[in-house]
Structure 1
Amino acid sequence: MSGGIGAARGTALCVGAVLGPGVLVLPAVAVRAAGPASLLAWAALLGVSTLVATSFAALGARYPNVGGVSAFTRRAFGDGAAAVVGCWLFAAVPAGVVAGAVVGARYITTALQAPPAAVAGTVVALLTVVYAANLVGLHLSARVQLVLTGAVVALLIAVVAVAGPRVDPDRITPFAPHGMAGIGSAAAVLFTSICGWEATANLSAEFTHPRLVRRVAGASLAVIVVLYTGLAVCTVGVLGDQAGDTPVPLMRLLAPADQPWAAGAVAVAAMLLTVAASVTFVAAGARTGVALARHRVLPAGLAATSGGQPRRSVAVQAGAATIVAVAAAAAPRLITVETLMRLFAALLVCVTLIGLAAAVRLLPEPRQRASAAVAALAVAAVAALSGPFLLAPAAVAAAILMRRRRTSTPPAVRPPAADAAGQDGVSKLLPYPTAMLARLR
């Protein structure tokens, strides 16, 4: 059964799923880790992104399904693997949302020339908006989503256009001051910049025709590659080794041009990127929590909804984000934005890896399976570079599998066999259709 998402809206949704607040700071984080050689990490990650995007698009076209990676994992590897993947997603949301809120708050306060102490209050305000929006069921219309994505893309193009003429080739030396270890470290944190391609699979059942998912993936990929390449080159060529010393690198790229609109425009973009992306992540995380609770993976009380809204699950997500934010405020040198992004990346890289393994098993064409296998190997290499941050997904997996072994009673809701539309149990347990989640993206 097809939905109502066309090519233009689908492209906006997928670009919006990949572009998040991380784009405001990740190029500078990569420079701090690897120096100018971060360009190699970007090139490698964008190559991997191409394989990941095409693999998830092929899965979505073959098995139109609103259940996404969890549904494909259940189809390929069973309930246990699907439970672990769902909990990885559920656990990743608080870290990612808090990191995004801090990044957005730094840009906003810098633009307003507010004192450093205002960052904490701005973080609280952004998180309040994000979780309140989910508690009341706020959603963005398709037209607003198109405008929002277009505005963000236009701003990033403006940044590249203003900063591009000032790129200095001399700033690429020394090229690799931290060696291969630095390049690997940059690649690990940059993985968050290519997360979101699974959205094409999640939305596949809502396209006007499943075949559109491949066209949308291709168009989205072209936009993402151009934007990230331009930002990476400008960050290295204009800011050089000073890129990692500023919490607001995009403003540094625009500031020398003395554009009166620069600070305000970047601050507005930071707010929109933070709120839009975070609302989407919280919505997806809350609904994942409901599905997991109904399968007895998480406590059953989390499955309760009020007026069709998963408010209890949202409240749990809000509580977890509050704990993360308080911990980050109490130990700013230990729990930094980069630490939270690396934790977020470690959880999502494991989700992507399992999704690609499912693609290797499920896709019918040898060429598609080979492409997914190459992508899986590349993502596995990125996962290995995450180092100690892999302890987080390992701990989540161990806890879930131990809980499953101790629980001998059958789940409250058994997943029915896949129907003609390809929607399995996880899909139907979600209290909202994908169309609503699509509007959130």
Structure 2
Amino acid sequence: MTGNVTGKSPAHVGADARVPVRPAGRLTVWQGTALYVGAVLGTGVIALPALAARAAGPASLLAWLGMVLLSVPLAATFSALGARYPDGGGVSTYVRHAFGGRAAAVVGWCFYFAVPAGCPAAGMFAGAYVANALGGGRLTVALTAPVLLVVVTVANGFGLRVSGRLQLVLAVLLVTLLLAAVAAAVPHARVDNLRPFAPHGWAAVGSAAALLVWSFAGWEAITHLAADFRRPARDLPRAALMAVAVVGVLYLAVAAAGLLVLGPAAGTTDAPLAELLALGTGGTARGPAAVVAVLLTLGVMNSYFAGAAKLGAALGRDGALPSWLARGSSAGEVPRRSLALVSGLAAVALAVTTFAGVGPQPLVLLSTGSFVTVYALGTAAALRLLPRGTLHHRAALLALIAVAALLLMTGRYLLWPLIVTAGALGYVRWRRERDKRQSRRVS
């Protein structure tokens, strides 16, 4: 296991330390914004407005607004770290600087092995919408999900230039479709549908917020691509800021439109976007809803595959994973070996859940606790690495408080990251003992 990238021990890494990486990337601010939007604006927008409305009624709008506001310090924290440490290791690099190699291996493994579980689940969600539009039931779901895996694998295999352009196209189409759904339904909005505003009491707003947390995950994913931006110190924070605005507007617009237009039915439908489109067009909207679901899923999978592939190469470079994965860790390179591993594990996870007939829920639970762990260690590292007294340091403190509350709500779902942690620490120990034995033989 190698030491810190800077060559210093954690105790000597100050707030002004930098990873000595010379960015040679091609990602633009607009492509970065699209990757952020794809990572954060996940499949939650398809179903979670209904779940939140079911939990808190119209008062769920306060939960949506609260989560948008909490996204600001979280996005600011990770973009500030990415701008200061533009390295493919992302959160793993920041944790390495703050707490050392073992903690970096843990957070790296938690993110890396969460993606092969989460992405197939997203593909199955999209497949359900396609099946709803075209028929075919489970067979359509079973065919749609692997096709999406192949598309994002091929796109990332050609490099971030192709992947970034694909994400930009997807983001534009997605934003257009969501705004069209809202605009088409607005003439049917009724303010009376917001009464009573809190039918389940004000405490239900907290329950709705707990549901919505998962809709705002993803602010850490693009930091793994920081070195692939043309000017990370300038472009990454700008992309994050623009993405917060886009995501916040879209989430609030869809949630508000659903409540104002559908009224009490907003909490009973499983496809609120389809309902909004149907009201606006005067017909069925299964086809357009399936298109939105597929675009959302492609955006999420593309962003996470790109980030995870780069992270795996960085972990191989740093000794936290086998060294044969290290190829592609430098800025501008394509980490095809790491990408192949992520894609292969995702295919295995999809095959197992498909043949077992258990659906996407187990995969969602496997990835949920892992991402919360990544957030916790990442924001804790930010408090140590970012200059004290700055706006970014204050944002990191606020983000850490919010993530601590999230950890409490995660509960038993933290079991999987604990297992992953044991695996990471076990591998690091085995690697060090092996290196010591080889050193003795040489000497």
> Scaled by the length of structure 1, what TM-score is found?
0.79
Kindly indicate whether residue 93 of structure 2 is the aligned counterpart of residue 67 of structure 1.
no
In 1, the alpha carbon distance for the partners of 2:146 and 2:28 equals: 36
Match of 1:382? 406
Bigger Cα displacement from structure 2, 351-360 vs 253-262: 253-262
Bigger Cα displacement from structure 2, 162-171 vs 19-28: 162-171
Q: Which amino acid aligns with 2:193?
A: D
User: Residues 96-127 of structure 1, C-alpha deviation per residue, up to 9 Å, x if partnerless?
Assistant: 21221122112222233554653333234333
Match of 2:275? 252
Match of 2:287? 264
Alignment of 1:56-135 (within 5 A): 56-115=78-137, 117-131=139-153, 133=155
Kindly indicate whether residue 247 of structure 2 is the aligned counterpart of residue 224 of structure 1.
yes
Match of 1:429? none
User: Is the 1:207–1:213 contact (alpha carbons within 8 Å) kept by the matching residues of 2?
Assistant: no
User: Is the 1:33–1:178 contact (alpha carbons within 8 Å) kept by the matching residues of 2?
Assistant: no
Q: Using a 3 Å threshold, how does the CA distance of structure 1 residues 329 and 35 change in structure 2: closer, same or farther?
A: farther
Q: Which of 307, 314, 325 lines up with 2:340 in the alignment?
A: 314
Match of 1:396? 420
Kindly indicate whether residue 230 of structure 2 is the aligned counterpart of residue 207 of structure 1.
yes
Alignment of 1:39-438 (within 5 A): 39-115=61-137, 117-131=139-153, 133=155, 140=162, 142-168=164-190, 169-170=192-193, 173=196, 175=198, 177=200, 180=203, 183-199=205-221, 201-205=223-227, 206-208=229-231, 210-240=233-263, 242-243=265-266, 245-258=268-281, 262-298=285-321, 310-311=336-337, 314-315=340-341, 317-324=343-350, 326-327=352-353, 330-332=356-358, 336-337=360-361, 340-367=363-390, 368-409=392-433
In 1, the alpha carbon distance for the partners of 2:365 and 2:58 equals: 20
Percentage of identical aligned residues: 42
In 1, the alpha carbon distance for the partners of 2:167 and 2:57 equals: 35
Q: Tell me, what secondary structure is at the counterpart of 2:421?
A: helix
Q: Using a 3 Å threshold, how does the CA distance of structure 1 residues 141 and 325 change in structure 2: closer, same or farther?
A: closer
User: Is the 1:293–1:300 contact (alpha carbons within 8 Å) kept by the matching residues of 2?
Assistant: yes
In 2, the alpha carbon distance for the partners of 1:246 and 1:373 equals: 38
In 1, the alpha carbon distance for the partners of 2:421 and 2:118 equals: 19
Bigger Cα displacement from structure 2, 20-29 vs 357-366: 20-29
Report deviation, 1:92. Answer: 1.2
In 1, the alpha carbon distance for the partners of 2:164 and 2:315 equals: 28
In 1, the alpha carbon distance for the partners of 2:201 and 2:142 equals: 33
Q: Using a 3 Å threshold, how does the CA distance of structure 1 residues 322 and 142 change in structure 2: closer, same or farther?
A: closer
User: Is the 1:34–1:183 contact (alpha carbons within 8 Å) kept by the matching residues of 2?
Assistant: yes
In 1, the alpha carbon distance for the partners of 2:196 and 2:139 equals: 36
User: Is the 1:189–1:342 contact (alpha carbons within 8 Å) kept by the matching residues of 2?
Assistant: no
Q: Tell me, what secondary structure is at the counterpart of 1:58?
A: helix
In 1, the alpha carbon distance for the partners of 2:252 and 2:432 equals: 51
Aligned CA-pair RMSD: 3.4
User: Is the 1:34–1:186 contact (alpha carbons within 8 Å) kept by the matching residues of 2?
Assistant: yes
User: Is the 1:342–1:386 contact (alpha carbons within 8 Å) kept by the matching residues of 2?
Assistant: no
Q: Whose Rg is larger?
A: 2
User: Residues 253-311 of structure 1, C-alpha deviation per residue, up to 9 Å, x if partnerless?
Assistant: 21122356954333223223222421332343244334434544345666689x96534
In 2, the alpha carbon distance for the partners of 1:293 and 1:7 equals: 28
Report deviation, 1:149. Answer: 1.3
In 1, the alpha carbon distance for the partners of 2:187 and 2:435 equals: 60
Q: Tell me, what secondary structure is at the counterpart of 2:233?
A: coil
Report deviation, 1:79. Answer: 0.7
User: Residues 358-377 of structure 1, C-alpha deviation per residue, up to 9 Å, x if partnerless?
Assistant: 11111114133222111111
Report deviation, 1:141. Answer: 5.6
Report deviation, 1:37. Answer: 4.1
Q: Which amino acid aligns with 1:355?
A: G
Q: Which amino acid aligns with 1:70?
A: S
Q: Which amino acid aligns with 1:277?
A: V
User: Is the 1:70–1:86 contact (alpha carbons within 8 Å) kept by the matching residues of 2?
Assistant: yes
Q: Using a 3 Å threshold, how does the CA distance of structure 1 residues 212 and 138 change in structure 2: closer, same or farther?
A: closer
Alignment of 1:22-33 (within 5 A): 22-33=44-55
Q: Using a 3 Å threshold, how does the CA distance of structure 1 residues 172 and 72 change in structure 2: closer, same or farther?
A: farther
User: Is the 1:66–1:204 contact (alpha carbons within 8 Å) kept by the matching residues of 2?
Assistant: yes
> How many positions carry a matched residue from both structures?
407
Q: Using a 3 Å threshold, how does the CA distance of structure 1 residues 406 and 362 change in structure 2: closer, same or farther?
A: same
User: Is the 1:135–1:311 contact (alpha carbons within 8 Å) kept by the matching residues of 2?
Assistant: no
Q: Using a 3 Å threshold, how does the CA distance of structure 1 residues 242 and 391 change in structure 2: closer, same or farther?
A: farther
User: Is the 1:243–1:249 contact (alpha carbons within 8 Å) kept by the matching residues of 2?
Assistant: yes
Report deviation, 1:137. Answer: 6.2
Q: Tell me, what secondary structure is at the counterpart of 1:386?
A: helix
Bigger Cα displacement from structure 2, 117-126 vs 167-176: 167-176
In 2, the alpha carbon distance for the partners of 1:197 and 1:94 equals: 18
Q: Using a 3 Å threshold, how does the CA distance of structure 1 residues 253 and 46 change in structure 2: closer, same or farther?
A: same
Match of 1:10? 32
In 1, the alpha carbon distance for the partners of 2:86 and 2:47 equals: 34
In 2, the alpha carbon distance for the partners of 1:348 and 1:97 equals: 13
Report deviation, 1:33. Answer: 4.6
Bigger Cα displacement from structure 2, 78-87 vs 234-243: 234-243
User: Is the 1:14–1:217 contact (alpha carbons within 8 Å) kept by the matching residues of 2?
Assistant: yes
Match of 1:423? none
